[in-house]
Structure 1
Amino acid sequence: MSSLVVVLLVIAVVLVVGGITWGIVAMVRRQAYISSIRERGWTFVSSPTWESVGRLSNPPFGLGFERHPDDQITGATSTGRAFQVIEYKSSYWSGWVGMVTLSRPLPELWVTGGETTPRYGVLAQAVPAPPQLGPGWQVGALDPAYAQEVLTPGVCQQLTALASGQVGVNLSIDGDQLVVLDPPRKDLDRLGPWLEQLGAVASAVDAAPLDRWIQPEPQQRLTFYHHPDWYWVGVDDSLLEFTPINRGGSHHRTEDVVRGRDGDGPPFVAFKHHWQTTRTESYTDSNGNTQTRTITEHHDEPILGFQLPIAMPPLKIGRKGLGKGIEFESAAFNKQFAVSAQDRKYAYDVIHPRQMEYLMAAQGRPFEIDGDWVWFSPGEHSQPAIAHCSAYLRGFLGRVPRFVWKNLGLQDTPYPALDS
């Protein structure tokens, strides 16, 4: 055996032993950390279920389909206020979050101070920060009056106390939870006082006269930011029986199933469809012999459908392609869109001049009406794609004339126009 081989073997052994040693050290440290948590009367859960974050819908929660709660610490402050410190991972953010419970569910509010930036995905508008907070603070809310009523002098005092001694504060109200990013979870001697101070902020919020802002109690399910009537299902293979999936191949399954609706719009179901196909191909091996092998290919497609209150005649609206489609009086519309229908008069009734103007301006995805369902070709299975198609379809349905709905058997339009 050469000296080089011996050296490499020694290095390999050292690396293996070193890796095992560091693994043991990490395990011992983790166990000591968990023991210290429990000595404080708190509870540690290494694999919490989705219920741990099920009622939270504001960023970093409520975004995307990949949501994974991890290590969780729960307990109560000295005043009996329930708290949670949890690791959370999604497609958009990964880190630790600390929160305490408020006495009532309230609208979203965002407060950042110090070397922090507003969270990804937040839709609230910036409003003036109270002078009591001092320079460098940012506040966001959907209603400036609400932010003003929350941020009383007492709340501002507790917020500045929370910010003292740390880089910054990134705080929000999410229902009945006061949520802060990046709690000092590694140092339990710091975490305890930090939670007490966060509880003091919550007490100041509870003391503010905010009853007129109380929100409905959120349901215990995974929801989506600014889409309160959307909810996560996960898997529902019964959908494969009636949805317009690609029916070739085998091993069909659903993933990331979401149901819901937006306002008075039609309810929807959205999911990703997976399946497999196999094929046999010939090849020449290293000896020059012809062999065959089976190749398995994996496929997926987004499915998005909206259920109508009544069946409508077939109608398909898509981008102009090789097909000519029905001609309308607008040359600009004919250049962009291909419309097909069994009943041309019905198509002309639905695709009137105002409807054409809307479709050209909105630039939505292709869709097809089939009975009491509208099926989209969304291009991707994502929260923004669902939201866009939902708004696009609602605008389309709101422009279907009343006499069309009456001819179909309804007394009036189920989707009143949203604008003139």
Structure 2
Amino acid sequence: MVIALLLVVAAIVWGIVALVRRQQYIGSIRERGWSFVNSPTFDAVARLSNPPFGVGFVRKPDDQITGMTATGRPFQVIEYKSAYWSGWVGMVTLSRRLPELWITGGETAPRYGILAHGVVAPAQLGPGWQVGAMDPAFAHEVMTSELCVQLNALAAGQPGVNLGVDGDQIVVLNPPRKELDQLGVWLEQLGAIAAAIDATPLDHWIQPEPEPRLRFYHHPDWYWIGADDNLLQYTPVKGGGYGHRTDEVIRGRDGDGPPFVAFKHHWKTSHTESYTDSNGNTQTRTVVNNHSEAILGFQLPARMPQLSVGPKGFRNGISFESEAFNDRFAVSSADTKFAYDVIHPRQMEYLMATPGAPFRIVEDWVWFTPGEHSQPAIAFCSAYLRGFLGWVPRFVWRNLGLPDTPYPSAESTPVS
């Protein structure tokens, strides 16, 4: 008991010391003319979509420091947590929105989820640097001698530079935020990097201003809803139980593909069970079980007959002319002729070459069984379905009342 009491007292003392130090730290921030926000809203990062932002559904901005550099350039230092990364991020503002650019130095690894082409780093940077961009031409134009000088200056004070351009922000991981004097110098170095980029003639690379909403990396037409329990009224969620609710609702589309809705459905069930207590008496108790499932649906521009496509299981489904296809897939439909029209030889080739999650067409919706609710799963099913719809013959769409195919095949002319 004495030891337990001492541990409690030590914990209280440690908590008081930590609180005092935090208040002193916040006071020092404000003495510099900077601002501190304990619980910033998503607006703090809504304009950002490149990793570590824009990836996954679990995102949490925390302590935030904002202010101006000596040259009047806005900056932000913020703690950020997601399912894939957590830590501190520092950023300063550019004069223009530019394409994404990635620069790492030292032994720093590229950030999780980056999609970019590697570009040969300029000789002025020296060994150990990596440069990446979606368009190598942009990287070649932006990597001027002055920018290389400023990057080397930043690396001299912070081994392991991890820098990116995200719209009109230069975003760098792991700022030295504990020592405010060091942080101030570091932010001025970021300002010098921003000035070098601003001084480069890059107006022909200016990117459009996005809508101010929670965004997704390389999916500009996806957007976060959060919760929308009205979806439970028309989506194929499991029934029974109680406490049905939705969360992590995402809507959007990819290019000319069909719009989608994706979310997690949660509900509860309960049952009564008997047990024997410590006195040997039989008692009953209610056990509550929590359940969840991933729901993903794409809305079509016309109603179709029911059709389901999935891996071969215990059911055989409709038989097609390809035995290889029949051995791998089970297809069922309320309209056999429709199934034969849609699952033609080239469609079978596509499905066998691009295996995806099972799906079923119900009126004007395509419902997937993705197995998980995640950004990669949604993106994969979106691309998979878009390819499938591209191989639906034109005459099928015309029979459904459309003037032509709404989804031309990217590989060749769709079957007429």
TM-score band (shorter)? over 0.9
1:69-108 paired onto structure 2 within 5 Å: 69-108=61-100
Q: SS at 2:55's partner residue?
A: coil
Q: Which amino acid aligns with 2:295?
A: I
1:39 corresponds to which of 9, 28, 31: 31
Q: Which amino acid aligns with 2:123?
A: P
| 1:123 CA drift (Å) | 1.1
The match for 1:5 is none
Q: SS at 1:174's partner residue?
A: strand
Q: Is the aligned partner of 1:400 residue 2:378?
A: no
Scaled by the length of structure 1, what TM-score is found?
Answer: 0.96
Contact 1:56 1:174 in 2 (8 A): yes
Q: SS at 1:148's partner residue?
A: helix
The match for 1:29 is 21
| 1:114 CA drift (Å) | 1.7
Q: SS at 2:405's partner residue?
A: coil
Greater alpha carbon shift after TM alignment, 174-183 vs 153-162: 153-162
Q: Is the aligned partner of 1:208 residue 2:195?
A: no
Greater alpha carbon shift after TM alignment, 130-139 vs 287-296: 287-296
Q: Which amino acid aligns with 1:311?
A: R
The match for 1:309 is 301
Q: Is the aligned partner of 1:170 residue 2:162?
A: yes
Greater alpha carbon shift after TM alignment, 264-273 vs 107-116: 107-116
Deviations 1:147-203 (A, max 9, x none): 011111111111111111221211000011100001110000011111111011101
Q: SS at 1:389's partner residue?
A: helix
| 1:290 CA drift (Å) | 3.8
User: How many percent of aligned residue pairs carry the same amino acid?
Assistant: 74
Q: Which amino acid aligns with 2:128?
A: G
Deviations 1:331-383 (A, max 9, x none): 01101111111111110000000000111111100000011110000011111
The match for 1:390 is 382
| 1:289 CA drift (Å) | 4.2
Q: Which amino acid aligns with 1:306?
A: F
Q: SS at 1:114's partner residue?
A: coil
The match for 1:120 is 112
Q: Is the aligned partner of 1:144 residue 2:153?
A: no
2:122 corresponds to which of 125, 130, 138: 130
| 1:288 CA drift (Å) | 4.6
| 1:21 CA drift (Å) | 1.2
| 1:118 CA drift (Å) | 1.0
Give the Cα separation in 2 of the matches to 1:12 and 1:374.
Answer: 59
1:220-369 paired onto structure 2 within 5 Å: 220-369=212-361
Contact 1:318 1:366 in 2 (8 A): yes
| 1:13 CA drift (Å) | 2.5
Give the Cα separation in 2 of the matches to 1:350 and 1:339.
Answer: 11
Q: SS at 2:356's partner residue?
A: coil
**Unaligned stretches of 5+ residues in structure 1:** 1-8
Contact 1:305 1:375 in 2 (8 A): yes
Greater alpha carbon shift after TM alignment, 16-25 vs 33-42: 16-25
| 1:286 CA drift (Å) | 4.5
Q: SS at 1:340's partner residue?
A: strand
Give the Cα separation in 2 of the matches to 1:17 and 1:377.
Answer: 53
The match for 2:411 is 419
Scaled by the length of structure 2, what TM-score is found?
Answer: 0.97
Deviations 1:200-243 (A, max 9, x none): 11011111111111111122111111111111111111111100
1:375 corresponds to which of 347, 367, 373: 367
The match for 1:63 is 55
Contact 1:175 1:218 in 2 (8 A): no
Contact 1:365 1:377 in 2 (8 A): yes
Q: How many residues are aligned here?
A: 412
The match for 1:184 is 176
Q: Which amino acid aligns with 1:180?
A: V
Q: SS at 1:36's partner residue?
A: helix
Give the Cα separation in 2 of the matches to 1:366 and 1:164.
Answer: 53
Give the Cα separation in 2 of the matches to 1:282 and 1:165.
Answer: 65
1:155 corresponds to which of 147, 152, 157: 147
Root-mean-square deviation over aligned CA pairs: 1.1
Give the Cα separation in 1 of the matches to 2:214 and 2:401.
Answer: 37
Greater alpha carbon shift after TM alignment, 157-166 vs 98-107: 157-166
Q: Which amino acid aligns with 1:178?
A: I
Deviations 1:244-263 (A, max 9, x none): 00011110000111111111
The match for 1:4 is none
| 1:407 CA drift (Å) | 0.6
The match for 1:54 is 46
Q: SS at 1:70's partner residue?
A: strand
Give the Cα separation in 1 of the matches to 2:195 and 2:135.
Answer: 22
Q: Which amino acid aligns with 1:125?
A: H
Give the Cα separation in 2 of the matches to 1:313 and 1:369.
Answer: 7
Greater alpha carbon shift after TM alignment, 305-314 vs 289-298: 289-298
| 1:74 CA drift (Å) | 0.3
Q: Which amino acid aligns with 1:333?
A: F
Q: SS at 1:183's partner residue?
A: coil
Q: Which amino acid aligns with 1:240?
A: L
Q: Which amino acid aligns with 2:3?
A: I
